[in-house]
Structure 1
């Protein structure tokens, strides 16, 4: 029987097993996330990334399994779909369920942090996809979480908007300093944002790589190519070097 325990910090997962009926998804996962650490979780579709995130969020009560999950008391989740209530204003969405006489003030401050000051009375359908995700981030961070869980929050955005959201998320994490688990399929996104990258395969942790602070963050930084290559190889992309070399040949397209 799986146990889900609330504690101060850090995140601690031991021997986590999860399955849907006879199908196993997670097969004995061990994972630690230190306070303030940003961890990106990579892996092929169906390997259990979202299942692990839902276990940390305490959203998998109906799933069979075993192991222990220990998380901080204050946990927030951001999904790929912003999940805004269409019948409530932007400010109402941010402050939904927020208690205290200063809830509205805190909501306005959170919207200002994500660049949406002055849009408090707007309706969700009046916002772009990127703006909707900004509201979702504000809604999560207004509660000052100790752990922020993000399940492909930028997967539906265009490339330019994603880059802007990367910068915003990095800035917000620097200010609020929660521990973060980001589920993503994007190797470059993981390298750009995370302190540590974990690759999940067949329901187990297959590879872990730490990203050196201040380096390896972009294709122009030393070490990026090596780390990028190692992660792609861990994900089963084994012919990318040969393909790149072929494309670089003068007669490759003739």
Structure 2
């Protein structure tokens, strides 16, 4: 964090600024005057019960839902990307074509190959999506989302459909990629352990607003057996109204 002359400390640059964001469906209010800030390069995980509005918030930040109300302010970088639970690859395009879809410039293929190498898929550029495992398809989706060097990465439960071992590998990969590319990240998840493993901050969404904002101060690599990891997990589960063992809702 930079310090200006005279001893004043500069606030870190923001990637996301939301003020008074509201969204409803019929008579039901999902987001109710929500406020949120995410610093540049910060990794934030968003937890909440099913139907609490996590994906609604992410879609609003991604510009996929224009029907927000309440005079809300939403400021996000123009260069943002989204990863969904479904890899959403075009089945009629090969892997490299999926990664560079819409990417301008004569070096698009070169950048796409480099992105695939980063996610461990060098040599699979000519494969069809149907020839890949679920984990490999999500690796392609990550490559596609990062090839544009986004300032903000929005991830909507990107590992929810993967088996436990593949999910652990994807956690390591995502942290490595984010450390290298330094986008701000908002990860929507139902998994408390995933949130504590990956995030710098964990938010809990309840009744349309941020009910808890918890900084996760743990060194990497993070072990689920660390006493402080378990303490963070228990406090987050309690905020979610869960008091039983296990980190998934």
| Same fold (TM > 0.5) | yes
Q: Is residue 102 of structure 2 the alignment partner of residue 97 of structure 1? A: yes
SS of the equivalent of 1:223 reads helix
SS of the equivalent of 2:130 reads helix
Name stretches of at least 5 consecutive residues in structure 1 with no aligned partner: 1-7, 244-254
Corresponding residue for 1:18? 23
Name stretches of at least 5 consecutive residues in structure 2 with no aligned partner: 1-12
Corresponding residue for 1:159? 164
Deviates more, 1:212-221 or 1:122-131: 212-221
Aligned partners of 2:216 and 2:123: how far apart in 1? 37
Aligned partners of 1:104 and 1:185: how far apart in 2? 35
Corresponding residue for 2:6? none
The superposition leaves residues 65-124 of structure 1 with CA deviations (integer Å, 9 ceiling, x where unpaired) of 541110112000000000000000000000000000100000000000000000000000
Alignment of 1:60-139 (within 5 A): 60-62=65-67, 64=69, 66-139=71-144
Q: Could you tell me which of 209, 212, 229 is aligned with 1:224?
A: 229
State the Cα RMSD in Å.
Answer: 1.6
Question: What is the TM-score when the length of structure 1 is the normalising length?
Answer: 0.89
Corresponding residue for 1:3? none
Instruction: Check 1:13–1:25 CA distance in 2 against 1; reply closer, same or farther (3 A cut).
Output: same
SS of the equivalent of 1:92 reads helix
Corresponding residue for 1:193? 198
Aligned partners of 1:34 and 1:224: how far apart in 2? 23
Instruction: Check 1:58–1:65 CA distance in 2 against 1; reply closer, same or farther (3 A cut).
Output: farther
Instruction: Check 1:55–1:168 CA distance in 2 against 1; reply closer, same or farther (3 A cut).
Output: same
SS of the equivalent of 2:227 reads coil
The superposition leaves residues 6-27 of structure 1 with CA deviations (integer Å, 9 ceiling, x where unpaired) of xx84210111111112221001
Aligned partners of 2:93 and 2:218: how far apart in 1? 40
Aligned partners of 2:217 and 2:69: how far apart in 1? 38
CA contact (8 A) 1:16 1:26 kept: yes
Shift of 1:222: 3.3
CA contact (8 A) 1:17 1:25 kept: yes
Alignment of 1:175-190 (within 5 A): 175-190=180-195
Moved over 6 A (4+): none
